[in-house]
Chain A
């Protein structure tokens, strides 16, 4: 199964303008991305945005309507699923219920023509990697959800695929387990050096695990970047809103040049802040991260607000405030250091560096 013709490239997967239609429904509208060798790449977006569809196109369960998908430079359109060197961890795991854990994990190796003894040796090795060595003879039905998830991972890793596709693999686990498995998964990815294409709708999961993230919505890629870029420099309203919490203010941008915008804030103060690619002068949306807003005495800072409510969150407190001009604004303060303003208190708000960003639509 080696392709001598393919030119080796640094990209494990190249997705080139892929369109996927189901009858009248278009699930993917010209999606492009490059996934590097050994990269932990995440597809993040709300349910129904086309993440599973894109994975199924890579795995070969769906044909693309337009565009191309290349694996290490080779166009895989003509290859059926069983000829693609890609393995999938399915959302519901799809472990074969009539086989033992060992048989499940050696299944792919045997289909590739490995001898039974080699396949079992490799399967045991991978089961050790996911810490399930002693469960080899169990049936999937006799394992807990977390253990099944790891068997599914082992089964997909055993044939050493070029790319591993994971469709919301943690969504069936409870919160505690999910957090434990996250770091485990990340460690396995580093250890094996296999490119992971990881699908999730959970932004926290995406931010903590990924090398890079592609944020998707309604069949379009909204932004591709590192977790830090996505969080700190969202390119549009959708990304800013979807990743983390943010305040969106309608503002007027007097001037946008060299990625810096001159903004006229509600209440008349002026602010100079970074602008997303494609943001233009005129009416626009300003993203203000709640944790980067500071409180000051009334009359000071760039915005004036009144406290309407508190929400205690353990380490933080959320202040729901209202600006003089009527907009609601959330401020997040760390508990402990300073006193939290009372309901009805008037205060000034300081926009710290990195808090504000002018977005494109």
Chain B
């Protein structure tokens, strides 16, 4: 048998790795560092301070950010809950209902939002809402978020369900459980890690979304990403770096949680 090729031996492998990491993470690191800058300049370091964090919560833009944050979290929680419910139902149908007509098509439809360019979805959503005469606002954001969160919730849930053999449900039904009891008492508890992981992923995807939100939000309705974008258009102030760093922190925490839960679920079985 041939030895597997060691990628690390390739000329320039190390350099390219570092370059990629640098391009990816240097901007994030700089934003995070300069969010603690004491100066009003965004390029010159003036010493360590938390004043821009204070400014986010008490400064002139604070009410705007607070309203936007409330909108963002409300929509993210609501959309993630709805998307998770729909994705769980879809995963049950896809993995447990045997073969049915249009199964492949259904799977493609569920995952389509992952492949369609987001700008297309954004435009299409806006056109759709206008066509049916829906007034853009919080509700349209909410609906659009549910839709594009479904595939993100579906993937971990479905992956988890595939790893649970259906003999567990058969064993439950063999022991006099109705199909609903078999689902509720056996399959559902075994899927909890996948469902939590899917929920967290959907939540973070909704929280971070800018493009679609920007299209379907009504005038005067803001979420955190659109509010930040609005402020940036009037010039970048260090408070933007502070709020971005906060948002980054929330993202990292949730993605890590999602990963840990997914992994814990795997190792338990």
Contacts and interface: CB of A to CB of B under 8 A. Distances in A.
A107 B172 contact: yes
B170 A82 contact: no
Nearest to B169: A94
Contacts of B173: 60, 80-82
Contacts of B171: 88, 90, 94-96
Given A94-B165, A94-B167, A94-B170, A108 B190 contact: no
Interface string B143-179: 0000000000000000000000101101111111111
A23 to B, nearest CB: 11
B61 interface: no
B257 interface: no
Nearest to A139: B268
Contacts of A156: 174-175
Contacts of B172: 96, 107
A255 interface: no
Contacts of B67: none
A96 B177 contact: no
Contact of B176 (A61, A90, A98, A112): A112
Contact of A96 (B179, B181, B186, B268): B186
Contact of A159 (B167, B176, B181, B185): B176
A155 interface: yes
A87 to B, nearest CB: 6
Contact of A111 (B167, B181, B189): B181
A141 B190 CA distance: 14
A141 B171 CA distance: 17
B269 A97 contact: yes
Contact of A94 (B168, B181, B269): B168
Given A90-B167, A94-B170, A96-B168, A155 B175 contact: yes
B176 A108 contact: yes
B19 to A, nearest CB: 45
A107 B167 CA distance: 15
B174 A97 contact: no
Query: In the complex, which of the residues B171, B178, B182 has the most CB atoms of chain A within 10 Å of its own CB atom?
Result: B171
A108 B175 contact: yes
Contacts of A125: none
Contacts of A88: 170-171, 174
A92 interface: yes
A110 to B, nearest CB: 9
B178 to A, nearest CB: 6
Nearest to A91: B167
A112 B177 CA distance: 8
Interface string B166-206: 01101111111111011001100110000000000000000
A95 B189 CA distance: 14
Nearest to B178: A82
Contacts of A59: 170, 174
A98 B168 CA distance: 11
A112 B268 CA distance: 30
A97 B175 CA distance: 16
Given A96-B186, A97-B190, A97-B269, A107 B175 contact: yes
Contacts of A81: 170, 173-174
Interface string B253-269: 00000000000000011
Given A97-B268, A97-B269, A111 B170 contact: no
A98 B174 contact: no
A90 B182 CA distance: 16
A83 B179 CA distance: 11
A111 B168 contact: no
A90 B167 CA distance: 8
A96 B173 CA distance: 12
A94 B175 CA distance: 12
A231 B75 CA distance: 73
Contact of B177 (A90, A92, A111, A155): A111
Contacts of B174: 59, 81-82, 86-88, 156
A81 B176 CA distance: 7
B267 to A, nearest CB: 11
B38 to A, nearest CB: 53
Contacts of B179: 80, 82
Contacts of A159: 175-176
Given A96-B186, A97-B269, A61 B177 contact: no
A142 to B, nearest CB: 12
Contacts of A96: 168, 171-172, 186
Interface in A73-127: 80-83, 86-88, 90, 92, 94-98, 107-108, 111-112
Contact of A92 (B167, B186, B268): B167
A98 B185 CA distance: 10
A92 to B, nearest CB: 7
B165 A111 contact: no
A61 B170 contact: yes
A307 to B, nearest CB: 45
B160 to A, nearest CB: 13
Nearest to B269: A97
10 contacts: A80-B173, A81-B170, A82-B174, A83-B176, A87-B174, A92-B167, A94-B165, A96-B172, A107-B177, A108-B176
Interface of B: 165, 167-168, 170-179, 181-182, 185-186, 189-190, 268-269
**Considering the complex of A and B, which 8 residue pairs feature the smallest CB-CB distances, nearest first?**
A108-B175, A111-B176, A94-B171, A94-B167, A81-B173, A82-B173, A88-B174, A98-B189
